[in-house]
Amino acid sequence: MIRLQKFLAEAGLASRRAGEQLILEGRVAVNGRTVQELGTRVDPMHDRVTLDGKPAQVKRKIYIALHKVRGLVCSRSDELGRPTIYTLLPREWGHLHTVGRLDYNSEGLIFLTNDGDFSLHLTHPRYGIKKTYIATVDGEVDGAMLAKFTKGLWFEGEKFKAERARLISSTSRESVVELILAEGKYREVRRLFDSQARTVTRLVRVQIGKIKLAELKPGKWRSLTETEIKSLLT
């Protein structure tokens, strides 16, 4: 059972606040009876809801995991004419929105959905959903540098912090580092290394929450399972 205003929002008819107004105006009926109480709950599977006499149905929620490749943007269109990740998806999924972003030169796991609550839960800092990245960096990286990342540092007027940082390999020419972040600030991994005069040459997001990139091939997508969706929301 869900609140009537949430049902209207999930049917794509109004925001929750606007849905409340529709209910108060007497424009919504449940099983043929006009309802004006904001606390009303409905069963989407069994109750018949109408708005101005027209049937309202909750849209099927879609949750997609995509392996983004380098050289694509995450918006539906680009003012520079660059290709977008939507070229990798069926045309009928053009209405889905990305959950967070990966920049043009970054790769790896990204979710797309039509569920706003799901997106909020995964992107708002208060929920602390962890994302794991593998960064290849020009030059040598040592433990002292990674300790700065996990302690937190200020750069360009903003604080950045990694939950964990692990050195996979390092030479004088190139290093590979695993970073786990919880806030998801704009270009956070790249800016952490920028603060130490290191340039990220390749960046791959390999995990979000408990969901791993695993065997998902570059440019391919799959639907998230019910178990995976629940793991991200709990």
What does the pLDDT read at residue 44? Answer: 83
What does the pLDDT read at residue 184? Answer: 80
Q: Identify the structural domains of the chain with CATH numbers, from first to last.
A: 2-56 (3.10.290.10), 63-125+211-233 (3.30.70.580), 130-208 (3.30.2350.10)
Q: Decide if pLDDT at 12 tops 80.
A: no
How many whole angstroms separate alpha carbon 134 and alpha carbon 145? Answer: 16
What does the pLDDT read at residue 72? Answer: 97
Taking only the tens place, the pLDDT of each residue in 58-89 is 778 899 999 999 999 998 888 899 999 999 99
* pTM for the predicted model, two decimal places: 0.80
Residues carrying an active site annotation: 103
Measured in degrees and rounded to the nearest 5, phi and psi for residue 32 equal 85, -5
Interior CA angle at 208 toward 194 and 225, to 5°?
160
pLDDT interval class at 10 (50, 70, 90): confident
Bin 152: left if φ > 0, else alpha if -120 < ψ < 50, else beta: left
Taking only the tens place, the pLDDT of each residue in 37-60 is 998 999 887 899 999 999 988 778
What does the pLDDT read at residue 199? Answer: 97
